């Protein structure tokens, strides 16, 4: 399988990437690691006319200690996130979740920014952004803006990003010492999560329980009201609208959400 | 790009995938196209020393980088230690997944020189063997890592 014809353009700087994408209009896509976009292009489910390769913009690949925050460049590979000593200490949820994305080959190429901008509801990291209350930083020809993770994911493969707007950085509050957990249920090791759960402190987010990653608000309220983890987990599927597909029907996903939230809360409780 | 230590220049269509570039332009056919959906790992090669699935990389993305395929592992007629271990432990059945398995194992051992059996199994989870010959494959990687008394040293 090969993608439909497109024009490949390589950006040498962020400004050049923005200019190339703006010139390409709605039919241009940024190409980072390509591990979400290229498979879709090979299946002809995505047919961009122009790919703007940002893969060489080393200035977007970093993990930086920034006072009470950590900044991660959008082009940082899952492998580099997973093996970061700084993240292992200050935001282990993110390091751990990045280490279970796909498989080693995919983690060598795939990037955190690419995964978030792609916004697959079955992807691991978008839910981590919600649980960690991350802020996504973007650049566009008009300037820079910051988008809270809770406002970034708008629908199936749909985000708050505008055409020619590039996700450049993700900012997190340090979370050393707070309880966390990442749970993911798959049939085979490398599959997308049938359901996943990210827990950070009192925040709980769900993978693949709707068109976007979701906060399990009813669980969080129950925890805030003093419920024990097992009691709070009963509410995990409230307000969700999971798809039925070849892997699971809706009641099965709802059941999985309750089970995985219970496990996640128990693990986070033990670690916190 | 640099392929197995040699410089290779070619004009290709923008949409050319690295695996097709390696097989059809460079003539290096050890790298197999298996599932073609970045699941099976048969097309695994090293890009700047790290394992990647070459069916999901554009040749243009690899421009200027170092690519190593199975053909580039042996030196001076001597098999690479991982190749020797696959040979000694019979880490193959039909052989189709083997080039990808070997390349994934080389990358794994570069990152984790002394993996446990469990680390080998998770480290190879991006590679599928349709013959299900995993036990000998894992044994071969452990042998290459020096964990077992194999005959990999010939």
Q: Is residue B107 part of a domain?
A: yes
Structure tokens at B98: 């083997």
CATH of the domain at B101: 1.10.150.120
Q: Is B75 helix (H, G, I), strand (E, B) or coil?
A: strand
pLDDT at A271: 76
Q: Is residue B28 part of a domain?
A: yes
pLDDT at B72: 97
Q: Which chain A residues touch B49 with a CB distance below 8 Å?
A: none
| Residue where one domain finishes, among candidates B37, B72, B107 | B72
Q: How confident is the model at residue B148 (pLDDT cuts 50, 70, 90)?
A: low
- Write the DSSP string, B83-136: HHHHHHTT--SSSSSHHHHHHHHHHHHHH-SS--HHHHHHHTTT---TT--HHH
Whole-model pTM: value is: 0.96
Substitution target from B1, B11, B15, B60 for chain A, most A beta carbons within 10 A: B15
C-alpha A200/C-alpha A267 separation (Å) is 11
Co-location of B89 and B54 in the same domain? no
Question: Considering the domain A7-53 in this protein, what is its CATH number?
Answer: 3.30.43.10
Q: Do B104 and A35 touch (CB under 8 A)?
A: no
Residue B150: is its pLDDT beyond 50? no
Q: Is residue B153 part of a domain?
A: no
pLDDT at B153: 43
Q: For residue A87, what are the contacts with CB-CB under 8 A and spacing of at least 6?
A: A63, A70, A72, A81, A94, A95
Residues in chain A predicted with pLDDT less than 70, given as ranges, are: 272
Substitution target from A42, A103, A120 for chain B, most B beta carbons within 10 A: A103
State the CATH class of domain A59-173.
alpha beta
Q: Which chain A residues touch B55 with a CB distance below 8 Å?
A: 42
Q: How far is CA B141 from CA A226, B70, B96, B101, in A?
A: 50, 15, 17, 10
Co-location of B99 and B132 in the same domain? yes
Structural domain range at position B65:
2-72
| Residue where one domain finishes, among candidates B33, B48, B72 | B72
Co-location of B8 and B54 in the same domain? yes
Co-location of B98 and B62 in the same domain? no
Q: Do B52 and A105 touch (CB under 8 A)?
A: yes
Tell me what the mean pLDDT of segment B33-57 comes to: 96
Q: How many domains does chain B have?
A: 2
Residue B147: is its pLDDT beyond 90? no
CATH 3.30.530.20 fits domain A180-271? no
Q: Do B13 and A3 touch (CB under 8 A)?
A: no
The residue in chain B having the minimum alpha-carbon distance to the alpha carbon of residue A7 is: B14
Are the C-beta atoms of B44 and B51 separated by less than 8 Å?
A: yes
Q: How far is CA B141 from the centre of its chain?
A: 12
Q: For residue A153, what are the contacts with CB-CB under 8 A and spacing of at least 6?
A: A119, A126, A130, A159, A160, A212, A213
Global ipTM: 0.94
| Residue where one domain finishes, among candidates B32, B55, B72 | B72
Could you read off the pLDDT of B99-133 as tens digits, one per residue?
Answer: 999 999 999 999 999 999 999 999 999 999 999 99
Q: Which chain B residues touch A8 with a CB distance below 8 Å?
A: 14-15, 58, 60
C-alpha A142/C-alpha A136 separation (Å) is 17
Q: How many CA atoms lie within 13 A of A161 on its CB side?
A: 25
Q: Is residue B150 part of a domain?
A: no
First CA to last CA across chain A, in angstroms? 48
- Which of A31, A43, A108 is the closest to B52 by Cβ? A108
Co-location of B54 and B97 in the same domain? no
Q: What order of strands is seen across the sheet that includes strand A28-31? A: A7-10, A50-53, A28-31
- Spans of all domains in chain A: 7-53, 59-173, 180-271
Question: Which percentage of chain B shows pLDDT scores above 90?
Answer: 93
CATH of the domain at B62: 3.10.20.30
Q: Would strands B66-68 and A135-140 be described as parallel, antiparallel, or unpaired?
A: unpaired
């Amino acid at each position: 399988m090969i993608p439909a014809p497109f024009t490949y353009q390589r950006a040498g700087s962020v400004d050049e990437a923005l200019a190339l994408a703006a010139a390409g209009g709605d039919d241009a896509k940024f190409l980072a690691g390509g591990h979400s976009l290229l498979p879709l292009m090979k299946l002809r489910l995505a047919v961009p006319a122009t790919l703007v390769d940002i893969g060489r913009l080393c200035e977007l690949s970093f993990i930086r200690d920034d006072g009470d925050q950590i900044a991660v460049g959008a082009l940082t590979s899952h492998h580099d996130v997973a093996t970061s000593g700084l993240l292992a200490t200050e935001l282990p949820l993110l390091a751990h979740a990045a280490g279970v994305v796909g498989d080693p080959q995919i983690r060598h190429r795939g990037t955190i920014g690419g995964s978030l901008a792609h916004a697959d509801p079955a992807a691991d990291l978008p839910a981590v952004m919600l649980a960690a209350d991350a802020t996504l930083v973007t650049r566009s020809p008009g300037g820079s803006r910051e988008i809270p993770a809770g406002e970034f994911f708008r629908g199936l493969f749909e985000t708050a990003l505008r055409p020619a707007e590039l996700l450049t950085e993700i900012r997190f509050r340090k979370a050393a010492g707070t309880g966390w957990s990442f749970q993911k249920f798959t049939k085979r090791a490398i599959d997308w999560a049938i359901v996943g759960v990210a827990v950070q402190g009192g925040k709980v987010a769900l993978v693949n329980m709707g068109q976007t990653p979701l906060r399990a608000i009813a669980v969080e309220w129950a925890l805030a009201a003093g419920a024990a983890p097992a009691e709070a987990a009963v509410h995990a599927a409230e307000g969700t609208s999971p798809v039925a597909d070849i892997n699971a029907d809706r009641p099965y996903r709802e059941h999985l959400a309750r089970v995985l939230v219970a496990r996640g809360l128990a693990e986070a409780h033990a670690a916190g | 790009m640099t392929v197995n230590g040699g410089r290779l220049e070619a004009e290709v269509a923008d949409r050319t995938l690295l695996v097709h570039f390696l097989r059809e332009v460079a003539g290096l056919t050890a790298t197999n196209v298996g599932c073609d959906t970045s699941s099976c790992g048969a097309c695994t090669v090293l890009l700047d020393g790290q394992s990647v699935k070459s069916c999901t990389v554009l040749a243009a993305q690899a421009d200027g980088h170092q690519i190593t395929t199975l053909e580039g592992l042996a030196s001076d007629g001597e098999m690479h230690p991982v190749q020797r271990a696959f040979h000694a432990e019979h880490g193959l059945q039909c052989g189709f997944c083997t080039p990808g398995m070997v390349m994934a194992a080389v990358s794994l051992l570069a990152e984790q020189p002394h993996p446990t059996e469990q680390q080998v199994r998770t480290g190879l989870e991006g590679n599928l063997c349709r013959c299900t010959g995993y036990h000998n494959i894992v044994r071969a990687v452990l042998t290459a890592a020096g964990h077992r008394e194999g005959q990999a040293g010939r």
